Structure 1
Amino acid sequence: MRKGDIIQLIYLDKKNNISQRTIRVIAVSDSYIKAYCYTKKAQRIFKKENILGSKIIKRVV
């Protein structure tokens, strides 16, 4: 996962709700991904440990 990549996630939120999100990666750390979430139309921070599955939609070269 790199800055600018567009990813589709299956994510478990802090209330244990599972959702599918499409995001554009802004920054990646050891524990978190900062991204623009197209689903919520806002910037969000995702815990890596809560990502249940992911698929790269568009890779930035």
Structure 2
Amino acid sequence: MDVGKYVGRTIEMIYLDRHNRFSKRKVKVKSVDGQIVRAYCLEQRGPRVFRVENILAVQPVKIA
């Protein structure tokens, strides 16, 4: 999955968390370094780190 093209953009993604449960987040992608995605979670209002291999789906969010 090419998450790198979303750096600087807000996306909604579905991923497997560290306990292998499905989760959905709305995040602003800050950087992608190899297999690590650093983002700001808009719901939790804080930085988060995701593994590319656990991201199942990505959709850009349209800001109105």
- TM class by shorter chain equals 0.7 to 0.9
Residue from 9, 32, 39 that aligns with 2:13: 9
Tell me, in whole angstroms, the C-alpha distance in 2 between the residues paired with 1:55 and 1:44: 18
Instruction: Indicate yes or no: 2:54 matched with 1:40.
Output: no
Contact 1:9 1:53 in 2 (8 A): yes
Instruction: Indicate yes or no: 2:23 matched with 1:28.
Output: no
How far apart are 1:2 and its partner, in Å?
Answer: 3.4
> How many residues are matched?
58
Following superposition, which runs of at least 4 residues in structure 1 exceed 4 angstroms of deviation? none
What TM-score does the superposition give when structure 2 sets the normalisation length?
0.81
Q: Higher helix share goes to which structure?
A: 2
What TM-score does the superposition give when structure 1 sets the normalisation length?
0.84
Tell me, in whole angstroms, the C-alpha distance in 2 between the residues paired with 1:23 and 1:5: 8
Percent identity between the aligned chains? 36
Unmatched tracts of structure 1, length 5 or more: none
| Higher relative contact order (Cα pairs below 8 Å, separated by 6+ residues) | 1
